[in-house]
Amino acid sequence: MASFFVSPVLQLHRVLLLSWFLCAATALLPLHVAAARAGAASYVTVFTASFAASGTTCDDTGPAIARRQRNGTSAVLRLAHRHGPCAPSRSSVQAGPSFAEVLRADQRRAEYIQRRMSGSGAARGSNKGDLQLTAGSSRSATVPATMGYSIGTFQYVVTVSLGTPGVSQTVELDTGSDVSWVQCKPCSAPECYSQKDPLFDPSKSSTYSAVSCAAEACLELGIFGEGCSSSQCRYVVSYGDGSNTTGVYSSDTLTLTSSGDAVVDTFLFGCGYAQAGLFAGIDGLLALGRQSMSLKSQASNAYGGVFSYCLPPKETSTGYLTLGGPSSASGFATTGLLTAWTAPTFYMVMLTGISVGGQQVGGVPTSVFAGGTVVDTGTVITRLPPTAYAALRSTFRAAMAPYGYPSAPAMGILDTCYDFSRYGVVTLPTVALTFSGGATMSLEAPGILSSGCLAFAPNGGDGDAAILGNVQQRSFAVRFDGSSVGFMPGAC
């Protein structure tokens, strides 16, 4: 039998060629396949083109979890990026703020939440940060939400109908507010800003009424009350970035779905006659906080003790908001829902650990997380206690170092940035957040990096409240009931 001699050099060339072929093949696979074959527990392979924030085509396949949960009692509505191709009306698409402007506004919001949590920032009329419903029936309504820009940061909007006959209103979704409101006629600039839809005209709604000063609903406004005018209850809300709204506290019919089968009668909201700040483009705000004035609380009798949302991962895709739905948390990783008595509006959970590349980040005592973590749709970048952030940053940089990606200048509050301009594919170490009870969020690549930077920042101090921002929540179904918060990946 003939034998052949293969030189060590030729063997090395073959090994190198095979290695190159395998790497190239992995890089060309879809992200979830590449991650699985390369060891998803430690790193993910990402096409740099996926970092692009914009697109011209709407990839509207509909919310995956909503399709799985449809059982005849739920209404599923579309949620989209307000400035992208999935927006309800392309004619309403507006240029958003720069990323630097977003980060500056985001920092103001984060500082405001932390002041509220510490009990030192509960300024009159100020409230921002939560989302939940109350136990009841199994009915559910899913409202389409659209990722947009308002109050100076990335926000999400839904389109609802107000009054009889109904008038479409595109309103910002905020889990950190308790008072909903829209701009109302008569109102002109500068008291009212330019918005997408016509101003709501209460005189043309047969079901509208102003709340009287003697009504219990007026008394429940508390710090949001602004006294009386002509026996009508007045409200005022000021936000962390200095924006504010004031007007008449009112009641009317709120229709959540286009089919008209999800209605909240005598819905309490603010009819705004004077607004100021960074609201441009939206028609108002839909509050999902935990207090009695919020939509969550007002709709609890009709839609039970559960609500969920899925924030779209990018502007070319859609997400959803659901009031009600299945009572079971099957399929969700759940953690206990906590309440901060200094700021009962907020939905609180307890973060217990962070891992990078499948390994727990060390050097972070559990006491660092003692202030709890606010789950907030309005904050963009997740805030961590300084000790935890420093450990995460150090571990992440070390995991990135072998790949040799050049660093980029810091961007505002983001200080760990990379220049991927010469790369078509990059490899990132995985990042996961673990909460009390063992619930873990294994983040998608867009939840790890934002504009090429590690999408985390430090908060005020160890023991202060952390904030789970919307960058990390995108594509997760986030479910709330009276006792827990659940996370499910890949839901929209």
CA–centroid distance for 403 within its chain: 31
Bridging pattern class, strands 456-458 and 382-384: parallel
What do you get for the CA distance between the two ends of the chain, in Å? 61
Sheet holding 440-442, edge to edge: 359-360, 351-356, 431-435, 440-442
Q: Are strands 140-143 and 373-375 parallel, antiparallel or unpaired?
A: unpaired
For residues 41 and 49, give the distance between their C-alpha atoms in angstroms, rounded to a whole number.
Answer: 23
CA angle 99, 317, 167 (to 5 degrees): 90
The DSSP line for 2-33 is ------HHHHHHHHHHHHHHHHHHHHHS-HHH
Q: Distance from CA of residue 249 to its chain's centroid?
A: 27
Kindly state the greatest CA–CA separation across the chain.
108
Task: Say which of 174, 197, 252, 481 is annotated catalytic.
Answer: 174
Query: CA 60: distance to chain centroid?
Result: 19
Determine whether 376 is an active site residue. yes
167-174 and 153-162 strand pairing: antiparallel
Active site residue 174: yes
- Provide the H-helix boundaries in 271-369: 295-298, 300-303
The catalytic position among 197, 241, 376, 464 is 376
Report the interhelical angle of 31-38 vs 8-28 (nearest 10°): 140
Task: Please give the single-letter amino acid code of residue 86.
Answer: C
Could you list the active site residues?
174, 376
